[in-house]
Homo-oligomer: A and B are copies of this chain.
Amino acid sequence: MPFELTILGSSSALPTSDRYPTAQVLNILGRFFLIDCGEGTQIQLRRQKIGFSRIKHIFISHLHGDHYFGLIGLISTLNLLGLKTDIHIYSPSELKNLIQPQLDFIKGEMKINLIFHPLNFKKQQKIYEDKRVEVFSFPVKHSISTCGFLFKEIKKQPNIKKESIQTYNIPIAKIKEIKAGDDFVTEEGKIILNKDLTTPAPQPRSYAFCTDTAYHESIVNIVKGVDLLYHEATFLEELSDFAKKTKHSTAIDAANIAKLAKVKKLIIGHFSARFNDISLFEKEARTVFENTVAAEEGRTYRINKK
């Protein structure tokens, strides 16, 4: 059962010849969540052979163009493909107004149904939930209102061992209670402990996305212990003053958040176009947090079942 992140774009605002602006796809158990949608996202989706029809939920962190200018093209393509489906967009409320004239222009041909969900920039909020996955938004610290996103599997109930059912003659009516944690009392009055009846479900996996943001310690508690953290690292340490001024992070900033939050693995991205050698970002971050990698476009990062 997959839990995997594919990077479509890892550049910052100015275009480079070999990196796209921010976009990524998170596949949790077959749900494809698109996170940010910079210009060229649909081309990158094609290259990664990710079917457009799988995308039903799009999360837009903030309204700087490098995080949403690819959205209208993607919507237009979903429409040209004749998909009749709901598409949920979780974004700053102004996004709808920004693209409304373009949506109106193609209104006569619109087959997909866009549902906008405005983000809350004051506090953490659950914005999506189904039986297996939940998603939270939380405010980060940038020059305009910006949210990070936290994606979590919901912990399944434990499985009952088949042989226990036979051995202790457990009636079907009791199974729900045992899954919920109850012990079982046999006809002879013997108590069988829950732990001997069940095998624990896998530990839920989690991913957090934080870009664009300055170094902001209130992120730490929210992303505590996640398996994978994507945190922006627009600048190297030599430009830390400029990072502060523009409300971006350095590689060291990202690594400090990862270290304080005790995450399992850190991916850094949103590299400024002025730097050609991305390995320097990795090098700096690893002085603080060893398990860091620089985002590579087209690469998929898997979190295995635990």
Residues of A at the B interface (CB closer than 8 Å) are 13-17, 20, 39-40, 42-43, 45-47, 63, 65, 69-70, 72-73, 76-77, 80-81, 94, 97-102, 105-106
Contacts and interface: CB of A to CB of B under 8 A. Distances in A.
A77 B64 CA distance: 11
> Do most interface residues of chain A lie in helix, strand or loop, or is the interface mixed?
helix
A5 B97 CA distance: 37
Contact of A47 (B17, B72, B80, B101): B17
B39 A73 contact: yes
Nearest to A105: B98
Nearest to A94: B105
Contacts of A70: 39
B46 A77 contact: no
Could you say how many copies of this chain the assembly holds? 2
Given A15-B42, A39-B43, 16 more contacts: A13-B76, A14-B77, A14-B81, A15-B46, A16-B43, A17-B46, A17-B47, A20-B43, A39-B40, A65-B76, A65-B102, A69-B72, A69-B73, A98-B102, A99-B101, A99-B102
A81 to B, nearest CB: 7
Contacts of A100: 101
Given A39-B40, A43-B20, A14 B80 contact: yes
Nearest to A101: B98
A94 to B, nearest CB: 7
A106 B66 CA distance: 13
A106 B64 CA distance: 9
Contacts of A16: 43, 46
Nearest to A48: B17
Contacts of A43: 15-17, 20, 39-40
A19 to B, nearest CB: 9
Contact of A65 (B40, B47, B72): B72
